[in-house]
Chains A and B, each alone.
Chain A
Amino acid sequence: ETGVTQSPTHLIKTRGQQVTLRCSSQSGHNTVSWYQQALGQGPQFIFQYYREEENGRGNFPPRFSGLQFPNYSSELNVNALELDDSALYLCASSSDYEQYFGPGTRLTVT
C-alpha cells in the first residue's frame, strides 16, 4: 500500500510569485485535505476536496486555491505569495475521519 506523497520537498519563491504544490493520496482514499503549519504551531486547515469538489474551507484568502483530479490526487495553488506564506504545507488523505499525512512541502518565501 502506497502512502501519501507530496512534491516538491522544498521550494524557495520570491514574494509576489505563484506556486503549485502536489499531493498523491493513499490508495483507496477519496478525500484530500490541505494544512499549513507555521514553525512551532499546529497544522491549520486550508481546504478539503472530496471526489473533485471542495468540501470545506478554513480561514484562508482566495489566493489559496486547489484542485482534485479523478485519480484523487490534488494540487494546492498559492498566488501573490507573501512572506507569511512561508511554512510547511501538509496534505492528508482519508476515506473516513482518520487522516493520514504526507511528508510535507517546505515553502520559503523571500
Chain B
Amino acid sequence: EDQVTQSPEALRLQEGESSSLNCSYTVSGLRGLFWYRQDPGKGPEFLFTLYSAGEEKEKERLKATLTKKESFLHITAPKPEDSATYLCAVHGQAGTALIFGKGTTLSVSS
C-alpha cells in the first residue's frame, strides 16, 4: 500500500533560521513526488514535482530533493510569509490518486 509520512508535524523557526522538512514514502513504482503549500482554509498551492532519485528543484527560499525513500524540503533563511502547512504527495503506478501525508505546519516568527 502506498504511504507517505511527514515529519515533524509542526516546526517553529525564527526568521532567517534555515531548516528541513522530511517526507518518507513507500510506493510501488514512483511516477512523481509532489510538494504543495497550503494556507489555512485554502486549497493546496503546487510547488514542485520530482520524478527520480537525485533530482533537485528550487524556488526562491525553497529547495526540494529526492532519494529512493524520502524527500526533503529545505527552507533557507525563512520569512514570516513562509508560514503555512507543507504537504507532500506521491503518485504511484498502481492508481490515479495522489497519496498525501498529513503535512508539516511551519511557523516563522520575526
Contacts and interface: CB of A to CB of B under 8 A. Distances in A.
B87 interface: yes
Interface string B80-92: 0000000101010
Contacts of A44: 100
A97 B91 contact: yes
Contacts of B95: 56
Interface residues of B, number: 24
Contact of B100 (A42, A88, A97, A102): A42
Nearest to B98: A99
Contacts of A50: 96
A6 B100 CA distance: 21
A72 to B, nearest CB: 16
A101 B43 contact: yes
B97 A45 contact: yes
Nearest to A45: B97
Given A88-B41, A90-B44, A97 B102 contact: no
Contact of B46 (A58, A88, A98): A98
B55 interface: no
B43 A56 contact: no
A41 B102 contact: yes
A104 B31 CA distance: 25
16 contacts: A35-B98, A42-B102, A43-B87, A45-B97, A45-B98, A48-B96, A48-B97, A90-B43, A92-B98, A97-B31, A98-B34, A98-B46, A99-B46, A101-B36, A101-B43, A103-B42
Given A42-B100, A99-B98, 19 more contacts: A4-B43, A33-B98, A35-B98, A42-B102, A43-B100, A45-B97, A45-B98, A48-B96, A48-B97, A56-B96, A88-B41, A92-B98, A97-B49, A98-B34, A98-B46, A100-B46, A101-B45, A103-B42, A104-B41
